[in-house]
C-alpha cells in the first residue's frame, strides 16, 4: 500500500495536474494537497527529480507569476488587482 505522497508522486510523474485534480483523484481536500507538495518536492529532489510548478497567470491582464515559489494559488493579480487567476499546475520530471 502506497502512502498519499507516493500516490501523488506517481500521478505527477504521469501527467501535469493542478491541486483540484489531485484532490479529486486522491479523495482528499485541496488544502491537504498543498500541505503535501513541499514534502513531495524534497522527496523527489533526493531521487534526482524535480517538482515543476507551471506559473499562475492572470486571466484578465495576462500577468504571469513566474518568480512565485509558493505552491498555493495567489489571491489576486498585483497588476490589475483582479482575482481571475489560472490554477498552478504541477509535474515531476
pLDDT digits (tens, 9 = 90+) for 6-64: 999 999 999 999 999 999 999 999 999 999 999 999 999 999 999 999 999 999 999 99
User: Is 1's pLDDT higher than 90?
Assistant: no
Residue 20 near residue 11 (C-beta atoms within 8 A): no
Using CA atoms, how far apart are residues 86 and 55, in angstroms rounded to an integer? 9
Domains of the chain: 4-92 (1.10.10)
Name the grid cell of 93: 520530471
User: Is 76's pLDDT higher than 90?
Assistant: yes
pTM of the model: 0.89
Amino acid at each position: 500500500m502506497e502512502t498519499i505522497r507516493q500516490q501523488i508522486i506517481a500521478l505527477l510523474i504521469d501527467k501535469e495536474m493542478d491541486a483540484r485534480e489531485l484532490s479529486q483523484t486522491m479523495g482528499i481536500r485541496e488544502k491537504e494537497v498543498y500541505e503535501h507538495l513541499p514534502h513531495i518536492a524534497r522527496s523527489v529532489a533526493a531521487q534526482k527529480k524535480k517538482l515543476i510548478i507551471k506559473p499562475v497567470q492572470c486571466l484578465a491582464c495576462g500577468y504571469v507569476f513566474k518568480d512565485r515559489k509558493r505552491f498555493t494559488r495567489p489571491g489576486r493579480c498585483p497588476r490589475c488587482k483582479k482575482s481571475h487567476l489560472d490554477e498552478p499546475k504541477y509535474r515531476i520530471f
